[in-house]
């Protein structure tokens, strides 16, 4: 498998570069960089968690910040925006808007893995206004409409 080099700037000396848990992992773990040893997120609360890193992604690739499966299923902590998008022209700090979906407070420790970063290609579209669209079997069938007879 071909590896891509992504330039990363540490914005703080204690920031941790993203790491892959296994050789075949698609997502690289992002680590919390907190001012205190830990931070508590109350039920229903969202906090911006610093990572202390900034990325330089090549044009045509974007970074997508997803939940870590264990953190979300076992502790109810996941990105508030479901998937964060890092555009290739963004050079600021990568932040994770971590939301507590559970019923009890959850604490995040400094250096804890809080999300995962996937790097993937994207397509930019030219949007063209049209008076009509081509016909399909599905037509205007919306939510839950496929598979019905």
pLDDT in tens, 61-100: 999 999 999 999 999 999 999 999 999 999 999 999 999 9
Contact between residue 41 and residue 32 where contact means Cβ atoms under 8 Å apart: no
HSE of 123 in the Cβ direction (CA atoms, 13 Å)? 3
| Token reading at 127 | 């949007």
Q: What residues contact 28, with CB distance under 8 A and at least 6 apart? A: 18, 19, 20, 116, 117, 118
- Enumerate residues 6+ apart whose C-beta is below 8 A from 41: 47, 77, 98, 99, 100, 105, 106, 107, 108
| CB count in 10 Å sphere of residue 69 | 11
Per-residue pLDDT of the chain (149 residues; tens, 9 = 90+): 778 999 999 999 999 999 999 999 999 999 999 999 999 999 999 999 999 999 999 999 999 999 999 999 999 999 999 999 999 999 999 999 999 999 999 999 999 999 999 999 999 999 999 999 999 988 887 776 676 65
| Tokens 């409409």, residue located | 145
pLDDT at 130: 97
Instruction: In whole angstroms, give the CA distance from residue 4 to residue 133.
Output: 39
Give how far Cα 59 sits from Cα of 96, 111, 118, Å.
22, 30, 15
Question: What six digits make up the tokens of 3?
Answer: 């590896």
Q: How far apart are the first and last CA of the chain?
A: 43
Tokens at 139, concatenated = 């037509």
Domains of the chain: 7-121 (2.70.40.10)
What is the pTM (predicted TM-score) of this model?
0.90
């Amino acid at each position: 498998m071909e590896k891509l080099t992504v330039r990363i700037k540490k914005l703080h000396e204690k920031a941790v570069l993203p790491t892959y848990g296994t050789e075949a992992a698609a997502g690289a773990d992002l680590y919390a960089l907190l001012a205190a040893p830990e931070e508590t997120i109350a039920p229903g609360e969202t906090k911006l968690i610093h990572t202390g890193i900034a990325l330089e992604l090549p044009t045509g690739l974007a970074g997508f910040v997803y939940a870590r499966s264990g953190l979300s299923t076992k502790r109810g902590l996941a990105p508030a925006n479901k998937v964060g998008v890092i555009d290739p022209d963004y050079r600021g700090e990568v932040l994770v808007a971590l939301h507590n979906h559970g019923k009890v407070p959850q604490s995040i420790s400094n250096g804890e893995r809080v999300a995962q970063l996937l790097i993937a290609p994207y397509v930019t579209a030219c949007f063209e206004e049209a008076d009509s669209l081509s016909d399909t079997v599905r037509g205007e069938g919306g939510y839950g409409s496929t598979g019905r007879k």
